Amino acid sequence: MEYVIEMLNIRKEFPGIVANDNITLQVKEGEIHALLGENGAGKSTLMNVLFGLYQPEKGEIRVRGKKVKITDPNVANDLGIGMVHQHFMLVDTLTVTENIILGSEPKKYRLSIDMKKAEEDVRKISEQYGLKVDPAAKISDISVGMQQRVEILKTLYRGADILIFDEPTAVLTPQEIQELIEIMHNLVREGKSIILITHKLKEIMEVADRCTVIRRGRGIKTLNIAETNPNELASLMVGREVSFKTEKEPAKPQDTILSIKDLVVKDARKVDMVRGLNLDVKAGEIVGIAGVDGNGQTELIEAIAGLRPVESGTILLNGKDITDLPPRKVTEAGVGHIPQDRQKFGLVLDYPIGENMVLQTYYKQPFSKRGVLNFKNIYDKAKSLIKEYDVRTPSEFTRARSLSGGNQQKAIIGREVDRSPDLLIAAQPTRGLDVGAIEFIHTKLIEERDKGRAVLLLSFELDEIMNVSDRIAVMYEGQIVAIVKPEDTTEEELGLLMAGSKKQKVGES
């Protein structure tokens, strides 16, 4: 049998929804098989069925041609199936080796752990597959990319030869993504098979051999990557044509809305992160901030939003000084803020999604009167926002926690845009989202611009910056070092500017 894993006609229901409806997935030995689908399409459910976390209502699973019943993850382990989780399952205070052997420790005289053998084993596996780690380092001391390697080693140590990667690149830097792709190629060369769950087309094109697309719980198609292209994959995934290039009219900038002068902001360690920054954003334009993470972008955004104290300098909104105002005053002055970390700042995850829709306006009419909330008005509002912004949720009473990342983000964007702020700050608005959601969000940002709002976009994705912005402000070491127009520049030039090289021809500011 050439298939190492076969999931035939799998059906999995949850109360109220069919998460997997008759999906078939066949993985060949020694291939990288991508599982592509939008957020909430049912990818993770399918993999949790394979890993024994869920039991399917219908369908059968075959491993190496033999019909099996995977009742829990231990059975999956015994069958050689290993899962590299998106959210790492590591013990921070233990070392790399200790984490890897946890649960299947080599014993000495059946009493103590044979640490010497353990470290040797770990070293051997890590060399074999080109997974560089320091076996003695503590998890809390190593980078996210390194932690992921530990997760991979964990599965290999347990003898897995079918590895499931659940959105492995979501937390990695571009450099780390390249290294991971290298690692995946190494694994396949050593005879492993890989199932890669993702919604990033670029990665699939780069690394996968074949790809199964699922959409809204249904298996759509399995195709060879060599015979397809990103456009086809995207339209299969979303179910309609998707454009990567966002269509927009040229900007018609008007009055200056946001004006930042000589701004200095410190981070939590009291280090100057924003160092005398100047920037203007006009009504009717989108200014994109490009830069390598850690050059003061987060501090800048938080200072404007009132979440971080300003050391010196001024921030003017419509000519009014909003420097160091508390967040509520900043909001009331006309600032909308789509925060970088949507789960930490953007939502109270344990509140219903409906109540999250009024997180900044609950104290105003019609959502409350004399301090008493009017839930009918709150949920009416939420319902209309949910509809308008296509937030997919069982109901407006569902906790925000149980929505997928893309739908959480759509809810936040709906809330922020609906207040029709003069300045809309969008910090990494599409991070971790699929192409359909990205397209939607970009369209919304441009719509806001066309309504005459000022939009400040922070993104680490150059594609996004080039695509959406009308002007690009390059941020380096706490200052805006250049302002360029996307049509006058290239990604290469931006990359150089972001790395600190001076621009020859100074762009207009």
Site for another protein in 413-442 (CB under 8 A): none
Binders of another protein: how many residues, by CB under 8 A?
31
Q: How far apart are CA 478 and CA 490, in angstroms?
A: 22
Regarding 68 and contact with another protein (CB under 8 A), the answer is no
Regarding 345 and contact with another protein (CB under 8 A), the answer is yes
Q: To the nearest whole angstrom, how small is the minimum distance from the Cβ of residue 52 to another protein?
A: 12
CA distances from 81 to 159, 204, 210 (A): 8, 21, 19
Of 3 and 351, nearer to another protein (C-beta) is 351
| Tokens standing for residue 44 | 């993770």
> What residues are paired with 83 via a beta bridge?
164
Residue linked to tokens 């597959």:
129
Q: To the nearest whole angstrom, how small is the minimum distance from the Cβ of residue 262 to another protein?
A: 26
Q: Using CB under 8 A, which of the segments 24-32, 208-216, 344-352, 444-452 binds another protein? A: 344-352
Q: To the nearest whole angstrom, how small is the minimum distance from the Cβ of residue 416 to another protein?
A: 11
Regarding 73 and contact with another protein (CB under 8 A), the answer is no
Angle at 257 between CA 338 and CA 388, to 5 degrees: 40
Cis before 56 (ω within 30): no
Contact with another protein (CB under 8 A) among 359, 383, 384, 461: 359
Q: How far apart are CA 484 and CA 509, in angstroms?
A: 8
Regarding 102 and contact with another protein (CB under 8 A), the answer is no
Other Cβ atoms closer than 10 A to 391: 23
Q: To the nearest whole angstrom, how small is the minimum distance from the Cβ of residue 313 to another protein?
A: 22
Q: To the nearest whole angstrom, how small is the minimum distance from the Cβ of residue 334 to another protein?
A: 13
Q: To the nearest whole angstrom, how small is the minimum distance from the Cβ of residue 378 to another protein?
A: 10
Site for another protein in 242-281 (CB under 8 A): none
Contact with another protein (CB under 8 A) among 52, 168, 339, 414: 339
Q: How far apart are CA 346 and CA 473, in angstroms?
A: 25
**Which residues touch 244 (CB under 8 Å, ≥6 apart)?**
230, 231, 234, 435, 467
Q: Using CB under 8 A, which of the segments 248-256, 279-287, 358-366, 437-445 binds another protein? A: 358-366
Of 79 and 187, nearer to another protein (C-beta) is 79
Q: To the nearest whole angstrom, how small is the minimum distance from the Cβ of residue 351 to another protein?
A: 7
Regarding 505 and contact with another protein (CB under 8 A), the answer is no
3-state secondary structure of 191: coil
Regarding 360 and contact with another protein (CB under 8 A), the answer is yes
3-state secondary structure of 263: strand
Q: What does 411-455 look like in DSSP terms, one character per residue? A: HHHHHHHHT--SEEEEESTTTT--HHHHHHHHHHHHHHHHTT-EE
Regarding 14 and contact with another protein (CB under 8 A), the answer is no
Binding site residues, another protein, CB under 8 A: 15, 55, 71, 305, 307, 326-332, 337, 339, 344-351, 355, 359-360, 362-363, 368, 371-373
